[in-house]
Structure 1
Amino acid sequence: MLRFSVLGALQIRTDAGPADVSGGLQRTLVQTLLVSEGRPVSGESLAEEMWGETVPDNQANALQAHVSRLRRRLRALEPDRPASRVTMHPAGYQLCVEEGELDAAEFVRAVRQAESASARDAARTARLLGESLAMWRGPAFGGTPGGPLCQLAGARYEEYRMRAMELRFDAELRLGHHAAILAELAETHSHHPLRERFCEQLMIALYCSGRQVDALDVFRRMSRHLDDELGIQPSPSLRKVETAILSHDPALIGAPRIPTPLQPV
């Protein structure tokens, strides 16, 4: 069994440890086949990912050579596998990845599970998402996603990462861990200053930790930032948190808002 990781620089692992995939074009080929999630990828799309606007004149032969090289490399890592992982179909090339072998697919599955379970079992949700977020070793594809298919996939995985962080913070707030996550929430908000949900959660954590003045100061700074950067006012949800803090709404403690689940892509 191989394990493929794209939540960070591309990595392939065997039971014996990591296995190298040498060459930028080979790495791009593997990444593109992985993000298709088992669907064939056309030769034209693969060529665009690998070479961009500098596609070689013998594109089909060059691509076939890289695919053959990848087949040999994967075969060497799994000598007992009965069939090649990379197959060719009328629609293009396909990389067989089984359940549990791709970290990004496992991560997305965990986030979707948490979206449906978070309101019922905060402790399980916090634990599940904490473990899942630990799968990230850096930006998807190591911050070099290549062409449009991988760029789109990278943005999608990053959005799931943001949602996982939101859901985990919500679960921790439900569990009453307001003070314990304050520093992490403040750092997360500073790294994503325009994402209002992190601001809401930081305000709630501060208020529930007895720091109402600081919570309201976060709202004022966020309002100025939204106005300066985007020319917009705080959302109704963010204003609602401010109002709840000003009125000492008891619903703030243990009842954070649940975001709308992401729609499958």
Structure 2
Amino acid sequence: MLSFSILGALQIRTALGPAEISGDLQRTLIQTLLVNEGQSISGESLVEEMWGEAVPDNQANALQAHISRLRRKLRSLEPDRTTSRVTIHPSGYRLTINESELDAAEFTKTVRLAEVATADDPAATARLLGGALAMWRGPVFGDFPGGTLCQLACARYEEYRMRAMELRFDAELRLGHHAAMLAELHDAHTNHPLRERFCEQLMIALYRSGRQADALNVYRRMWQHLSDELGIEPSPALRRVENAILSHDPALAGDTPAPIILQPA
């Protein structure tokens, strides 16, 4: 059985240890098949992803040669497997892969589960998402992001990572862990300065830690940043948090899981 990791540089693990995929075209091919998560992709799309504008003269043969090479490589890693992982269908090529064999698919499934989980057990949610976020080893595909399709997939998985962070911070705030989360929230807000949810959560954590002035300064800097970069004002949700801080709203108390804190972004 193989497992594929793309939340970081591409890794393939076998029963005997890690395996390498050599050659940029082979890496682009398997990465493109992986981000389709078991769905078919047309030969034309694969050609464009692999070669861009430098398409070879006989693109069909060139693609088929790389498909055959990848099949042989994967077969060598699973000698007991009776069928090829890479198959061709009327709609294109498909890499057979189970959800549990791809870290990105397992990660997005966990985030979706956390999205619909009840708020009754924030500790379980925090543990679940903490474990999921620990799967990330760096940017998707590391220093080899591939072509347009892979880059779009990278952006999609990164959005899931941001949402997982938001949900985990919400759970930790419900548990009263505002002081412990301050450093992580500060980093998240600094690294993603236009993501208002991180700003809201940082303001709440600062306020609960007795740092009302710092919380309001974070809001003012965010307001200025949004105005300078995008020409917009803070969202109603972010303004509600500012108003709650100014009025010392009891909903901001550390032991009160108030809607102002936990409503979805």
TM-score (norm 1): 0.95
Give 5+ residue unaligned stretches, structure 2.
none
Structure 1 pair 118/189, CA: closer, same or farther in 2 (3 Å)?
Answer: farther
Q: Superposed, which structure 2 residues align to 1:1-265 within 5 Å?
A: 1-117=1-117, 119-253=119-253, 254-255=257-258, 256-259=261-264
Contact 1:118 1:171 in 2 (8 A): no
- In the TM superposition, what whole-angstrom CA distance separates every residue of 1:173-230 from its partner, at most 9, and x where no partner exists? 0000000010111011000011000000000000011111111111111111111111
How far apart are residue 142 of structure 1 and its match? Answer: 1.3
- Report which stretch shifted further, 16-25 or 166-175: 16-25
Structure 1 pair 118/125, CA: closer, same or farther in 2 (3 Å)?
Answer: farther
How far apart are residue 88 of structure 1 and its match? Answer: 1.0
How far apart are residue 147 of structure 1 and its match? Answer: 2.0
Measure, in 2, the Cα distance between the counterparts of 1:188 and 1:240.
21
Percentage of pairs with the same residue: 75
- Report which stretch shifted further, 156-165 or 86-95: 86-95
- Point out 4+ residue stretches in structure 1 off by more than 6 angstroms: none
Measure, in 1, the Cα distance between the counterparts of 2:181 and 2:37.
34
How far apart are residue 144 of structure 1 and its match? Answer: 3.2
1:257 aligned partner, one-letter code: L
1:263 counterpart residue number: none
Contact 1:29 1:46 in 2 (8 A): yes
Measure, in 2, the Cα distance between the counterparts of 1:222 and 1:99.
39
TM-score (norm 2): 0.95
Aligned length: 260
Determine helix, strand or coil for the equivalent of 1:140: coil
Measure, in 2, the Cα distance between the counterparts of 1:258 and 1:132.
22
How far apart are residue 18 of structure 1 and its match? Answer: 1.2
Give 5+ residue unaligned stretches, structure 1.
261-265
